[in-house]
Amino acid sequence: MQNVIFGIVTGSILAVATLGFALVRQTENFLNIAHAQMMALGAFIGVVLVDTYGMNIFLAGAITVVGLGALGVVLSAVFFQPVRHQGGTVLLFTSIGLALMMYAAILALFGTQARFYPDVSGSLYRFAGINIATNELVIIGLAFGSIAALQLFLNGTGLGRAVRAVASNDDLARVRGVPVRTVSNTIWFISSAFGAMAGVMLGVLGAVNTEIGWHNILIVLAAAVLGGLRSITGVILAGLLLGIMMDVSALFIPTSYRPVVAFGVLVAVLILRPEGILSIQRRKDAVVA
């Protein structure tokens, strides 16, 4: 059971990171590899604010998330909008190029030395033979709070509905007068902010090093494919499922095979349910339509 708790913590971070990744995939129609470097940047900026400037972790996290959300909008305007009309392949390679540039910038700005958030574990709560630290509860709460807020935004606001319209059919939305540029900026802001938040969470639990983005992008991709790139619920479930499977697998197989579990699941899903774990629902939707 303890490992399930570990998995929920891991899965919560994975769900936040993957949601940002899937949003861009769903609306801009390409795999944004640079998303991983936004996570790394978030981890580094957060640790600098906390460790170097002595800032409160929550304030530092908020500044990092908002700041990198804005940076995401700028980067999309500079790198992606000019080549958007050339299609997904060009956008994919642009994102790879941007990821490499961001990685180089991280090396130049922060150096190659690992950094660590000061211990912000807080109390350890024990019940029914399991334990969970305050910071893990905060991570789970923040992750699900953010995801719930995103759901509310998408379902309960005009801009949110516009985002869903663009995600559903870009051309139709444009014809119907949806402000596509505004929607695009909103998506980039949310996506980058979620990436930055995941980065800070990763840093709080582990170490902040320059490879943190590269280490996590494939797992994020696995969660996105597993969840089905078009379903928020699917992404959340996939993140949790992968996190729990990776951490529970430690009880049965050597933990060095942890990533193999994630990709084993990914391969199985690609073979059995190429549209993700919520594909049955999607088929029903298709029949109704």
Partner 1 sequence: MKRVLVALLAVGLVAAAACSGDTEEEGPVKMGFLNGQSGDYGPWGGWALAAAEVAVEELNAAGGVLGRDVELIVEDNGSTPEGAVSGFAELTEVDGIHALGGIESDGMVAIFETVHELQIPTICSTCGTTELDNTGGDMVFRIIPSDTDNGIVGAQVARDEGYRSVAMLVELSEGTESPANVFKAVFTEQMGGTITEDVRFNAGETTYAAQVAQAFESNPDAVYIAAGFETGVPLLNEWQRRGYTDIPMIFTTDLLSPEIAQIVGSVDGASAIVGATAYDTENNPAWDAYVPRFAEKNDGDPPEIAFYDAWQYDQYIILGLAMAKAGTTDGAAVAAAIPDIANPPGVEVFSYADGLAQLDAGNDIDYHGTTSNLNLNSVGNLLSPVMAVISVQDGDWAVRENIELDPTLVKPS
Helices (DSSP H) in 123-278: which residue ranges? 134-156, 158-168, 170-175, 180-205, 212-227, 232-248, 258-272
Q: Does 186 bind partner 1 (CB under 8 A)?
A: no
Encoding tokens for residue 46? 């957060």
Q: Measured from the CB atom, is 38 or 178 closer to partner 1?
A: 38
SS (H, E, C) 91-108: HHHHHHHHHHHHHHHHHH
DSSP 76: I
Distance CA 124, CA 11 (A): 20
**Distance of closest approach, residue 102 Cβ to partner 1, in angstroms:** 18
Q: Does 131 bind partner 1 (CB under 8 A)?
A: yes
Q: Does 9 bind partner 1 (CB under 8 A)?
A: yes
**CB under 8 A: which stretch of 147-155, 184-192, 244-252, 263-271 binds partner 1?**
244-252
Q: Using the rule CB under 8 A, which residue among 54, 89, 108, 113 binds partner 1?
A: 113
Q: Using the rule CB under 8 A, which residue among 119, 271, 272, 286 binds partner 1?
A: 119
Q: Does 207 bind partner 1 (CB under 8 A)?
A: yes
**Distance of closest approach, residue 86 Cβ to partner 1, in angstroms:** 33
Q: Does 3 bind partner 1 (CB under 8 A)?
A: yes
Q: Does 28 bind partner 1 (CB under 8 A)?
A: no
Q: Using the rule CB under 8 A, which residue among 255, 267, 268, 283 binds partner 1?
A: 255
Q: Does 256 bind partner 1 (CB under 8 A)?
A: yes
Distance CA 186, CA 89 (A): 23
One-letter amino acid at 70 equals A
Distance CA 210, CA 115 (A): 9
Distance CA 102, CA 93 (A): 14
Q: Using the rule CB under 8 A, which residue among 259, 263, 281, 282 binds partner 1?
A: 259
CB of 76 closer than 8 Å to CB of 182 = no
Q: Does 211 bind partner 1 (CB under 8 A)?
A: yes
**Distance of closest approach, residue 47 Cβ to partner 1, in angstroms:** 12
Distances (CA, A) of 167 to 13, 145, 173, 180, 258: 24, 23, 9, 10, 33
Q: Measured from the CB atom, is 86 or 121 closer to partner 1?
A: 121
Q: Using the rule CB under 8 A, which residue among 88, 111, 145, 274 binds partner 1?
A: 111
DSSP 77: I
Q: How many helices (H) and strands (E) does the chain have?
A: 12, 2
Q: Does 65 bind partner 1 (CB under 8 A)?
A: no
Binding site for partner 1 (CB under 8 A): 2-3, 6, 9-10, 13-14, 111-114, 116, 119, 121, 124, 131, 133, 135, 202, 205-207, 209, 211-212, 215-216, 219, 247, 250-251, 254-256, 258-259
